[in-house]
Amino acid sequence: MEPIKNPDVKYTKLFINNEFVDAVNGKTFPTLNPVNEEKIVDIQAADKDDIDVAVAAAKEAFKRGSVWRTMDASARGELIYKLAELVKRDIVYLASLETLDNGKPFMFAMGDMQASINVLKYHAGIADKINGKTIPVDGDNFCYTRREPFGVCGCIIPWNFPAMMFVYKIAPALATGNTIVIKPAEQTPLSALYLAALIKEAGFPPGVVNVVPGFGPTAGAAISSHPEIRKIAFTGSTMVGKKVMEAAAQSNLKKVTLELGGKSPLIIMPDANVDEALAVSHMGVFYNMGQVCIASSRLFVHEDIYDDFVRKSVELAKKKCVGDPFDLKMQAGPQVNEIQMKKILELIESGKQQGARLQCGGSRFGDKGYFVQPTVFSDVKEDMRIYKEEIFGPVQSIIKFKTTEEVIEMANNTTYGLAAGVFTKDINTYQTIVNALEAGFVWVNQYLNSGAQAPFGGYKMSGIGRERGEEGVHEYTQVKTIFVKQPKCAKM
């Protein structure tokens, strides 16, 4: 499919109570095209007053006796399925909008939209299959549980997968009967606002979903600390995740799920299929210009194949086509903004200064837009910043190891624990490594592949809770236990 190279931006206002409205204070902010650094459009900027209005709408939609609160679970599922079909109808426009606002290559944006459709359809199907349990307690008692919605849920999403993260948050919340106030990242609000229009078109009642673009210290902080929001889901950096959790605790102890940073290891054993491991490890760190929380940003390669693997990795990186993301020949676009580009370049410079060997790249690409050259470092050591810090850019750090025990220890030597992977043909080796890795999602002889059915989340400082799958649905419910005294049977 061909992209729409200059998609018309239809929505720039806040979406509250099924209407597009101006911010209370009338302030706006620009969203920029990362390819040419030019303004696309001005967006209404939500702050605390707007969050209060949105929460009030969501609370009204959830009140006892409301259309949403009394709707059959199967009917909720039908609405979610209709939303999926609308996304499918407008997939080219949505992907084009995402490419314009985010800078990711159009075909990758199309992949994001298809993944979003899959997630919506999964949750449409699970909406009427969220079950409690009957529990065989002692005595003349009948005990059972119900999974019930929290009410108003707050969601804060990142800029690297704007539409997909939007869907990851709203789908389980809607399937379980909650209402939502969601803040897209200020860098990439366009697809979220268009999805808001599709939510209205699908027939969701007013107030069920409210979309409030704005900045973290204002709109995000107001969501995190709002006393009427009972659950919050955040995807982003560990640093900001800590602030969200602190605000949630200090306000009303709202339920928190956090999907945070990563510094994920990918281990290449000497018996691996080298060609497959090369291709996968390349995509694992350079996909989406490295702006992926699960990026395989620490590549551990056994000493027996290390030199050859480094040489071939450099060849792949040098061949990567970087440029206009609307050009279907391009494999990489710009970073999302100037701040991100400068952060990446600063970390690349630290790698040079700390003694890592720069094999290729290492600089800005071109003089317009936020492009960074695909970069490969070898001879990376555990005390280097590029080994320890999340770069969130197109930088591959390759580390040599000798033994299985050594690489397990190195892989786990991080405060993060989001994802990991291993390439080997030996079942005993992969089981040993997989069982020892401290990560929430582990791949064997592949990387990045996933699905709506598979729970995703991190260990350690990579997060709390899970998204997707049954576990992700349960994050949006609270368990009520009912204990019933059973009458004694009359004697015959």
**Burial group, residue 343, by CB count within 10 angstroms (0-12, 13-18, 19+):** middle
Token pair, residue 374, equals 């695909």
Token pair, residue 260, equals 């945070």
Q: How far apart are CA 303 and CA 305, in angstroms?
A: 5
Q: 289 φ, ψ to 5°?
A: 60, 30
Q: Which amino acid is at 142?
A: F
**Which of 2, 78, 85, 259 does the annotation list as catalytic?**
259
Q: Are 100 and 109 in contact (CB under 8 A)?
A: no
User: In 3D, which of 166, 206, 160 has the Cα closest to residue 184?
Assistant: 166
User: In 3D, which of 247, 259, 233 has the Cα closest to residue 176?
Assistant: 233
Q: Are 27 and 48 in contact (CB under 8 A)?
A: no
Q: Are 271 and 425 in contact (CB under 8 A)?
A: yes
Token look-up 């695909």 returns 374
**Residue 406: active-site member:** no
Please state the separation of Cα 423 from the chain's center in Å.
25
Q: How far apart are CA 439 and CA 427, in angstroms?
A: 19
Interacting residues of 8 by C-beta distance below 8 A, sequence separation 6+:
none
Q: How far apart are CA 57 and CA 344, in angstroms?
A: 41
Token pair, residue 130, equals 């969220």
Q: Are 248 and 228 in contact (CB under 8 A)?
A: no
Active-site amino acid positions: 259
